[in-house]
Amino acid sequence: MKNVKLAIALSILLALLATLTLTVTQGIAAKTTQTVAATSTELGVQLNAVTLTDMPATHYLPLTKEERLWLDNNQPIRVGVDGNFPPYSFLDENNQPVGIAIDTLELIGKKLDIEFVIDKQSSWRKVISNLDAKKIDVILTMVRTPEREVNYLFTSPIVYKSLVIINNKDSSAIENRGDIASKTIALVKNYHYVSKILNEFPSVVPFYVDTMREALEAVEAKKADAAITFFAGANFLQQKYLFSNLEFAAFYERNSANDAIAIRQDQPMLAAIMQKGLDVLSADDKLKINEKWHANITLPTNHQVVIEIALVAGLLISLLLLWLVREKRHNRVLVSAQVDTEDANRALNSLREKLEIIVSERTVQLKNSENRYRGLVESLQDEYIFYQHDIQGEIQYVSPSITHILGHKALNFRGSYNKYLTSNKNNLAIPELILRCIKGEHVPPFEIEIMDIKGAYHTFEVLERPMYNEQNECIGCEGIAHDITERKQHQRKLYRLSHFDKLTNLANRYLFTLSLGQAITSAKALNQTFALLFLDLTRFKIINDNLGHSAGDKLLQQAALRLTEQLNSQDILARFGGDKFCILLPESDEKQAEAVALTLIKILAQPFEVYEQSFILGCRIGISLFPTNGHDPETLLKQADAALYVAKKRPAGFAFCSEEQAVYNQRRLKLEQGLRLALSKSSFDESFELSAVYQSLNQLPDAGLAGFEALIRWVHPELGPISPMEFIPIAEETGLIFELSRWMLTKVCRQLKEWHQLGFDFKRVSVNLSALDLININLAEEIINLIEEAGAEPRWLKIEITETALMAAPEQSISTLQQLVGNGIHVAIDDFGTGYSSLAYLKSLPATSLKIDQSFIRNIMTSIEDQAVVKAVISMAHSLGKKVTAEGVETQEQLDFLITRHCDLAQGYLFAKPLIAQDCVKKYAANNNQNKIVTFKRSLK
């Protein structure tokens, strides 16, 4: 036996010596070469000890309905990429983004049916700026750091990178990372690892460059001793640009700069989707991407590793020799040890049997002990109190945990404890419950309330049972009191969360509906009436969308406070959702409801102060009455909501429910839903239900073409043509006006591009913007970007803003218009004369023209007042260097009057009705425009 073990040990020793000798010899004799496949973590997948096909499949969860719905509403996903980050993401010869990360993104899009759009900006600094400005949704590759986690959400890594040291073959001064001290090292500016390197090696002289390619070029030209950059990136650039004098010196850090996908902080749903996109990629998918961008690179021999292997080999040999010596000794005592073990086992078995007898006897004693539970209860210091009292209810024993929970000393709590009880009604039932327990009845757990030493109230759940003496006579009760104060607080908190609005502390929709049902039941029993007010804040959505939810929350809190102050204690006020409130006025009739409504309208019309800015909201109120308008909560709420829509059309700001209102509201709701659906399609086909027509602007006195005004039209699929006077106010009230304005501007820009390609000289085309558009402080920038995206030019356009819209926020309006004019877009003030603007603002307006409202032109031949207004506007505009356009010219007499007053332009049915784009070309094309002008001159004569 001994000889066999010795022979085996010697065989192992000889084999180990042969293997280690061969390894050391090969390491010293020649350079050990490795390919990039050994460090393929640099190319986006980890391939350490197994191949990709051996790796377990990633657990993939499919997209949920909510995630798919979110994608349907938010696609395409805008992606920012670093254009100078080969081979992960860079621009090829055609200026198109390519690379490992790009291929990975495209594969995710195919597998999950996601549409990605890569942003044109490729500068790293601008890419980050675009993400912060929410112009893009994600950045494809970003190193995850604690500082960045504050601002962005991250997926798991999409690529894995190691930092390496690249030096010139002519210089062998750098063999490991410590050799870079006091050397000139090429570093890429703004890369995250630069500061870390300089902190670790303060003596390094940095040679800053803008790209990895410039870093390698500096080392090739010997302007720098070495460059620290990413492994695969350096290899890619070396192969592509044939840097023949460069070589890999050493690793600086392995897998220290792995890149993940960065997502905007306000889009957690998108972050979850992108993570699932990475999870869905199989090992074969990653391997194919890796092989596509794979390139071989030769790594130098790591002599330090060879030396370490030799040292380890020597140590193993020494340990093996020691083991052989010890094995001989162990063999000598093995037989003796086996005998000792058998004796010890017999002794342990005997001891175990004795212990089992002792434990059994002790268990019986514990079961019969009077204090069998006391030790356990006294150890429950946080929640439980054990106590005993006699048949008079006097405390005879209380566990020390009472001091930990309530602060009272156990000794002080003995006897009567009534002085510690609160006035809670549950405490009044304690004597009766004790009596029932003493009589032997089963008393279910009950609650009591006790003050602690600081006066705070604690709620206990108490479970009692009777105690008996040896004669089986009841001598009192023993019980456990469980402190459930925290649980009761949670229950109250949950009740509050489920019944009250967290932002305003008002009742929520659920609680209000319950209260409304109770009010109906009470009113029916007492034959009473009450009123239900449905209140909607006006202009809130515009302010909330443009100034942020924080400002919107403060406005809602102030509005709730004002409403609360104006109502009685028996009135019920609730936030019904968004900017809507509901008010129940018990025992109120129509007259009383109207009085309350007028009071609320007045109080909410006063300015609100938020972030040192003043805003005017206002409100509209719809009113339904019980039992006149309904006998159940759903009907009363529906009728009040119907009345609310009518109230938005009335100057008074409130309305009672009627059948006519219900019909009107049904049509209005259908129009709102239809318009929302149409805008969601975002189609610009000629057959689309939304379209644009163009009415000519004519130069005076010769009536030559001076441009067009674009007008929007809508043909509802079921209701037919809808007047702009009907659907544009709906768009403004619902916030759809922003999408409608962008659609119209895009439609016109596309048409102008087409006309320009046809050679049609359309001069300038005017597009109307809503007053609500001017609230957007980024309006000018968005318009310029939209024009560029459509392929149009700013000089083709004129923006028309009504005088009333300008006066709503004059300072901001002037700033926006100045930006538009500065980019070559003309500005016209529409409906001039109806907005009561001051001359001071008029002087500062960067408008190129004024449009006299058609209300002054309609009766110009019979109204001396209208004639005076028209002459004054023309004179004033000319003195300010602005042209004047008269709207709604329909008769020759009106035109003659305007010509004699030197009006510059005219527009109206006298010249032409609004035409579709094709008819404009036919009517005003250059080859027949002159003939039309001549014909018109003759008609003037």
As a whole number of angstroms, the distance between CA 126 and CA 559 comes to 41
The helix or strand, by DSSP H or E, that contains position 77, with its residue range, turns out to be strand 77-80
3 or 248, greater pLDDT: 248
pLDDT of residue 932 exceeding 70: no
Q: What is the pLDDT of residues 306-316, one digit of tens each?
A: 566 777 777 88
pLDDT of residue 2 exceeding 60: no
| From 72-81, 354-363, 858-867, the region with the lowest mean pLDDT | 354-363
Residues 173 and 269 in one domain: no
In a domain, 567, yes or no: yes
Residue 826 identity (one-letter amino acid): H
The pLDDT assigned to 659 comes to 66
* CA atoms within 13 Å, Cβ hemisphere of 207: 22
As a whole number, mean pLDDT of residues 689-699 equals: 95
Residues 824 and 713 in one domain: yes
The pLDDT assigned to 410 comes to 84
Residues 710 and 809 in one domain: yes
CA 2 to chain centre: 74
Q: Closest by alpha carbon to 668, among 644, 652, 650? A: 644
Most confident of 13-22, 58-67, 382-391: 382-391
- In the chain, the number of structural domains is 5
In which band, very low, low, confident or very high, does the pLDDT at 940 lie, cut at 50, 70 and 90? very low
As a whole number of angstroms, the distance between CA 809 and CA 815 comes to 10
As a whole number of angstroms, the distance between CA 913 and CA 935 comes to 18
The pLDDT assigned to 252 comes to 85
Cβ neighbours of residue 259 closer than 8 Å, sequence gap 6 or more: 88, 101, 141, 142, 143, 144, 157, 158, 159, 161
Cβ neighbours of residue 848 closer than 8 Å, sequence gap 6 or more: 798, 821, 826, 827, 828, 882, 883
pLDDT of residue 24 exceeding 80: no
Instruction: Identify the domain boundary among 490, 516, 544.
Output: 490
Burial class (CB within 10 angstroms; exposed 0-12, middle 13-18, buried 19+) of 286: buried
As a whole number of angstroms, the distance between CA 335 and CA 312 comes to 35
Contact 137, 262 (CB under 8 A): no
- CA separation, residue 768 to residues 146, 314, 710, 828 (Å): 48, 88, 8, 9
The pLDDT assigned to 13 comes to 54
Residues 624 and 753 in one domain: no
The pLDDT assigned to 27 comes to 45
Residues 115 and 213 in one domain: no
Residues 645 and 724 in one domain: no
The pTM score is 0.42
Most confident of 299-303, 357-361, 606-610: 606-610
Angle at 289 between CA 283 and CA 294, to 5 degrees: 115
Residues 235 and 124 in one domain: no
The helix or strand, by DSSP H or E, that contains position 601, with its residue range, turns out to be helix 590-604
48 or 117, greater pLDDT: 117
As a whole number of angstroms, the distance between CA 463 and CA 434 comes to 11
Q: Closest by alpha carbon to 443, among 433, 451, 452, 453? A: 433
pLDDT of residue 280 exceeding 50: yes
In a domain, 790, yes or no: yes
As a whole number, mean pLDDT of residues 90-94 equals: 88
In a domain, 705, yes or no: yes
As a whole number, mean pLDDT of residues 843-870 equals: 88
As a whole number of angstroms, the distance between CA 590 and CA 466 comes to 64
Mean pLDDT of the chain: 83
3-class DSSP state for residue 566? Answer: helix
The set of long-range contacts for 319-323, using a CB threshold of 8 Å and a minimum separation of 24, is 320/9, 320/12, 320/13, 320/16, 321/13, 323/9
CATH of the domain at 196: 3.40.190.10
The helix or strand, by DSSP H or E, that contains position 692, with its residue range, turns out to be strand 690-699
In which band, very low, low, confident or very high, does the pLDDT at 305 lie, cut at 50, 70 and 90? low
Angle at 195 between CA 191 and CA 199, to 5 degrees: 155
The pLDDT assigned to 238 comes to 83
Q: Tokens 């065989």 belong to which residue?
A: 11
3-class DSSP state for residue 464? Answer: strand
Q: What is the pLDDT of residues 456-502, one digit of tens each?
A: 999 999 999 999 998 899 999 999 999 888 888 888 888 788 888 88
The helix or strand, by DSSP H or E, that contains position 156, with its residue range, turns out to be strand 152-159
The pLDDT assigned to 937 comes to 41
As a whole number, mean pLDDT of residues 877-904 equals: 93
Domain that holds residue 289: 61-160+258-295
Angle (deg, nearest 10), helices 659-681 and 633-647 = 80
Pairing, β 613-615 against β 619-626: unpaired
Q: What share of the chain is helix, strand, coil (3-state, %, to 5)?
A: 50, 20, 30
DSSP state of 166: E
Cβ neighbours of residue 62 closer than 8 Å, sequence gap 6 or more: 276
DSSP state of 49: S
Residues 154 and 116 in one domain: yes
CA 807 to chain centre: 34
Q: 3-state SS of 769-831?
A: CCHHHHHCCCHHHHHHHHHHHHCCCHHHEEEEEEHHHHHHCHHHHHHHHHHHHHCCCEEEEEE
In which band, very low, low, confident or very high, does the pLDDT at 294 lie, cut at 50, 70 and 90? low
Give the chain's length: 941
pLDDT of residue 674 exceeding 90: yes
Beta bridge partners of 799: 767, 827
| From 203-217, 677-691, 795-809, the region with the lowest mean pLDDT | 795-809
Contact 270, 70 (CB under 8 A): yes
CATH of the domain at 736: 3.20.20.450
In a domain, 307, yes or no: no
Beta bridge partners of 477: 389, 466
Structure tokens at 257: 């700069």
Q: What is the pLDDT of residues 143-193, one digit of tens each?
A: 888 889 999 999 999 887 888 899 988 876 788 888 888 889 999 887 878
The pLDDT assigned to 837 comes to 52
DSSP state of 406: H
CATH of the domain at 431: 3.30.450.20
As a whole number of angstroms, the distance between CA 792 and CA 786 comes to 9
pLDDT of residue 23 exceeding 60: no
Residues 267 and 246 in one domain: no
Instruction: Identify the domain boundary among 236, 253, 270.
Output: 253
Instruction: Say whether the peptide bond before residue 627 is cis (omega within 30 degrees of 0).
Output: yes
Residues 823 and 926 in one domain: yes
pLDDT of residue 210 exceeding 70: yes
In a domain, 635, yes or no: yes
Alpha helical stretches, state H, 370-504: 374-378, 401-406, 410-413, 430-438, 485-499
CA 321 to chain centre: 66
In a domain, 441, yes or no: yes
Contact 194, 227 (CB under 8 A): no
pLDDT of residue 49 exceeding 50: no
As a whole number of angstroms, the distance between CA 32 and CA 35 comes to 10
As a whole number of angstroms, the distance between CA 727 and CA 721 comes to 10
| From 18-32, 247-261, 913-927, the region with the lowest mean pLDDT | 18-32
As a whole number, mean pLDDT of residues 290-301 equals: 59
298 or 901, greater pLDDT: 901
In a domain, 670, yes or no: no
Instruction: Identify the domain boundary among 622, 657, 692.
Output: 657
Cβ neighbours of residue 696 closer than 8 Å, sequence gap 6 or more: 705, 706, 707, 708, 907, 911, 912, 920, 924
3-class DSSP state for residue 414? Answer: coil
Cβ neighbours of residue 585 closer than 8 Å, sequence gap 6 or more: 530, 531, 532, 533, 571, 592, 593, 596
pLDDT of residue 33 exceeding 50: no
The pLDDT assigned to 10 comes to 52
In a domain, 938, yes or no: no
The helix or strand, by DSSP H or E, that contains position 537, with its residue range, turns out to be strand 530-537
As a whole number, mean pLDDT of residues 673-690 equals: 89
Q: Tokens 């690892």 belong to which residue?
A: 193
As a whole number, mean pLDDT of residues 46-51 equals: 32
Q: How does DSSP assign 88-155, residue by residue? A: TEEE-TTS-EESHHHHHHHHHHHHHT--EEE-S---HHHHHHHHHTTSSSEEEEEE--HHHHTTEEEE
Q: What is the pLDDT of residues 701-732, one digit of tens each?
A: 999 999 999 999 999 999 999 999 999 988 98
Beta bridge partners of 710: 694, 767
Cβ neighbours of residue 803 closer than 8 Å, sequence gap 6 or more: 829, 830, 831, 832, 833, 834, 835, 836, 837
For 92, list phi and psi in degrees, rounded to 5: -80, -170
Angle at 381 between CA 377 and CA 386, to 5 degrees: 35
Residues 789 and 912 in one domain: yes
DSSP state of 59: P
Contact 833, 873 (CB under 8 A): yes
Residues 733 and 780 in one domain: yes
Determine what percent of the chain is predicted with pLDDT higher than 90: 42
Query: Ramachandran region of residue 393, left (φ > 0), alpha (ψ -120 to 50) or beta?
Result: left
